[in-house]
Amino acid sequence: MPAAIITKDEVLSRLLEVFRRDGYDGASLAEISRATGLGKSSLYNHFPGGKEQMALEVLAALGASLERDLFAPLAAAGPREKRLDAMLEAIDAFYDGGNKACLLERLAASVDRRPFSRPLAAAFTRWMGAIEALAIEAGVKGAVAARRAEDAVVRIEGALVVSAAMGETGPFERALADIRATLLEP
C-alpha cells in the first residue's frame, strides 16, 4: 500500500463532484471518503481544517480552472462569436447539459456560509466581469454590457435550479441558446 495513487488535483475534482451534488451540509465525511477513496484520517491529513477547508480549497481550485479554461479564452484573440460559443460550450459541458448543479450555489446555500462569502462573491463578480468585457469589446455600451452579463449569469443559475426541480434539461438548454442569441446584439 504505497502512497498517493491519487493526485491532489484528482481529490479536489472528486470533492467538487460531491459538494455540487450533495451540497455542503448534505455532504458527509463518509460519502467524501467513499468518493475519494481516502480514509477519514487521510482526509484530515490533507485538510486539517476538515470539511470547511475542503470546500474552500475546491473553490480555489475551481477558480483557477475557470481562469484558465473559461476567462482567458474569453479574452483571447479571434472572432468574438467564436469565443462566446466556446464559453457556452464549456459551460454546457461543466454542468453536464444541465444535469449537474453549481458549486457556487450549493456553498452559498449552506447553513454557515460565512467562510465562503468572500470567495463566492469574488467568483460571481469575476465571471460577470469576463462576460461584460466581451460584450463591451463587441461594441455593447458599458451599462448595457454589465446588465447583460449579470443577466446571463442569472439565467444560467436559474436554469440549473429549474431544470433540476423539473427533472428535465430543457430550461438549461434554452437559456444557453438565448444567451448565445442576444448577448452580443448591438
By C-beta, is 83 or 106 nearer to its own copies? 106
Is there binding between residue 109 and its own copies (CB under 8 A)? yes
Shortest Å, Cβ 45 to its own copies? 26
Among 49, 60, 89, 125, binds its own copies (CB under 8 A): 125
Residues 142-161 that bind its own copies (CB under 8 A): 147, 150-151, 153-159, 161
Stretch that binds its own copies, among 50-58, 90-98, 133-141, 167-175 (CB under 8 A): 167-175
Q: Cell digits for 24?
A: 455542503
By C-beta, is 22 or 69 nearer to its own copies? 22
Which of DNA, its own copies, none lies near 60, with the C-beta cut-off 5 to 8 A by kind? none
* First CA to last CA distance, the chain: 61
By C-beta, is 45 or 170 nearer to its own copies? 170
| Site residues, DNA (CB under 7 A) | 1, 3-6, 27-30, 37-42, 44-46, 48, 50-52
Q: Distances in Å between the alpha carbon of 25 and those of 58, 100, 106, 139?
A: 15, 17, 9, 43
Alpha helices per DSSP H over the chain: 8-26, 29-36, 40-46, 50-66, 72-75, 80-94, 103-108, 114-137, 142-166, 170-182
48: amino acid identity, one letter: P
SS3 state of residue 125: helix
